[in-house]
Structure 1
């Protein structure tokens, strides 16, 4: 399975000149009744098992936090006026898209205010991945400084986020 990584920047094109950007904050495989039956069945042939591993569509679910959008070629670090729907197609952003979207840090506020996600881990994974898209090797340090500035009045969250960032910086 070739799935985007936790913390990756993705985009969902939703119309002419409009697309939503988001960060993957959860990836899981839903319970699959057929696999459960295969595992508990007696004498399942290797051919049947291989066929299910190689050809079966796996029910993978990804949760994405909207962090901005692009309209007519301009990036906005605001919540999108029309968010993507659960069945809209999403694409992993290439290095050019990542560098362009992460040039400024306005989208960090959406990550830091999302209480239902593991903020520190998402930011650490995202910052680590985004650094590879930037020619400026100081981008990661600037990103960490921005996080410190944004969380300066929330010491518990700052310490939790810095703990996660310390694993990748």
Structure 2
């Protein structure tokens, strides 16, 4: 397992409900739905990866195909080392809670993430600790962004479930399903969409 204490990205845009971070490694972004964190003045802010994009550093300039004469994708980057300096990988993360005075709270922190704050992955133990209660699901369902709240919610729940094993995993999915049924009792189609993606 990779060292979770290694910083993977840096906050470059921030608000009360989300932040955007630029990854240090162009091809090593955290997967959709992953739980990541950043710290600010004694508060640990937890966020779920909601969208990942790799674009040119220069606005309006798109990358061009370079692999016609290369055997592998890796060879493209070896033959064009400047690409690492011309492209950027950004992660948009939805804030789903915070830890203050040792207590996890599933609501928005009092302040947004710090600009240029370091972003780290959460290991399985921290993910399990964060998800002992399901209050964070409310924030996921109301998320705004490039990925629909239904896709976002199901991706996060699948990733969290992956940190559990055996009966604990089943119990987490059952508890999450009940929470979703309560929150979406008046919207069967949204509930069905998420549950289908959880069981796939």
Please classify the TM superposition score into its range, dividing by the shorter chain length: 0.7 to 0.9
User: 102, 105, 110: which is aligned to 2:139?
Assistant: 110
Matched ranges for 1:19-58 at <5 A: 19-31=44-56, 36=63, 39=66, 49-52=77-80, 56-57=84-85, 58=87
Q: Could you tell me which runs of 5 or more consecutive residues in structure 2 were left unpaired when the two chains were aligned.
A: 1-26, 68-74
Does 1:96 pair with 2:118? no
Task: Give the CA deviation at 1:101.
Answer: 0.5
Structure-2-length-normalised TM-score: 0.70
- Which residue matches 2:90? 61
**Cα distance 1:157–1:115, how it changes in 2: closer, same or farther (>3 A)?**
farther
Q: Is the helix fraction higher in 1 or 2?
A: 1
Does 1:13 pair with 2:39? yes
**4+ residue segments displaced more than 6 Å:** none
Q: Is the strand fraction higher in 1 or 2?
A: 2
Task: Give the CA deviation at 1:20.
Answer: 0.4
Structure-1-length-normalised TM-score: 0.81
SS in 1 for 2:118: coil
Q: Could you tell me which runs of 5 or more consecutive residues in structure 1 were left unpaired when the two chains were aligned.
A: 41-46
Larger Cα Rg: Structure 1 or Structure 2?
Answer: 1
Whether the 8 Å contact between 2:43 and 2:100 is mirrored in structure 1 is yes
User: 121, 124, 149: which is aligned to 2:154?
Assistant: 124
SS in 1 for 2:80: helix
- Which residue matches 2:177? 144
Task: Give the CA deviation at 1:3.
Answer: 1.7
RMSD of the alignment, in Å?
Answer: 2.9
- Taking the aligned partners of 2:96 and 2:152, their CA distance within structure 1 comes to 12
